[in-house]
Amino acid sequence: MNLNDVKDNLKSQGYKLTNQRKAILDVLMDHKGHVLSAEEIYEKTKERYAKTNVSTIYRNLEILENANLIHRINMNGEASKYKLICNDKHHHHIICKECGKSQSIDFCPLQDIHDEFKDEDFVLTDHRFELYGYCKECIKKKNEQV
């Protein structure tokens, strides 16, 4: 999805494209290969739109998540991180624990489980699954430090 698609999509769902939302989307687009914390999004959005405040950042992130335009990714024991959705098909990510760099995995390793659950007492509706590791650059940096 490019930025215009995201903006059109938001408008088509009845949301106004406020200056702050525009600024947040610009920030997310600039970092589309990385996950960012709400704090980082706040700092970077403020550079573009000075009237930004923290509580509206959280509110807008919630709206964008409900509109299916951003991913909210739970990092182990850390605050959630966010990124623009990569594409509208079901997919997963591998994320660098050091710098937040992320790549999409367009294949679902859990599809078999969904198939197997068809006749069970549960209706399986969705799942979350992310892979964590270190990107090449971060491994290089780590090795140089030693």
Q: Is 92 annotated as a binding residue?
A: no
Residue whose tokens read 């992320």: 102
Nearer to Zn ion, 33 or 43 (CB): 33
- Looking at the DSSP bridge assignments, the partners of residue 102 are 95
Binding mask 22-41 for Zn ion (x = CB under 5 A): --------------------
Write down the least CB distance from residue 81 to Zn ion, Å.
Answer: 12
Write down the least CB distance from residue 104 to Zn ion, Å.
Answer: 5
> Binding to Zn ion by residue 1, rule CB under 5 A?
no
Backbone angles phi, psi at 65, to 5 degrees: -70, -45
- What are the distances in angstroms from CA 34 to CA 15, 40, 101? 25, 11, 4
The full DSSP string for 74-100 is --TTS--EEEE-S-SS--EEEEETTT-
Write down the least CB distance from residue 108 to Zn ion, Å.
Answer: 3
Q: Is 108 annotated as a binding residue?
A: no
Note the helical H segments in the chain: 3-12, 19-30, 38-48, 54-66, 111-116, 136-145
Q: Segment 96-125, which members bind Zn ion (CB under 5 A)?
A: 96, 98-99, 101, 104, 108, 110
Interface positions with Zn ion (CB under 5 A): 86, 96, 98-99, 101, 104, 108, 110, 135, 138
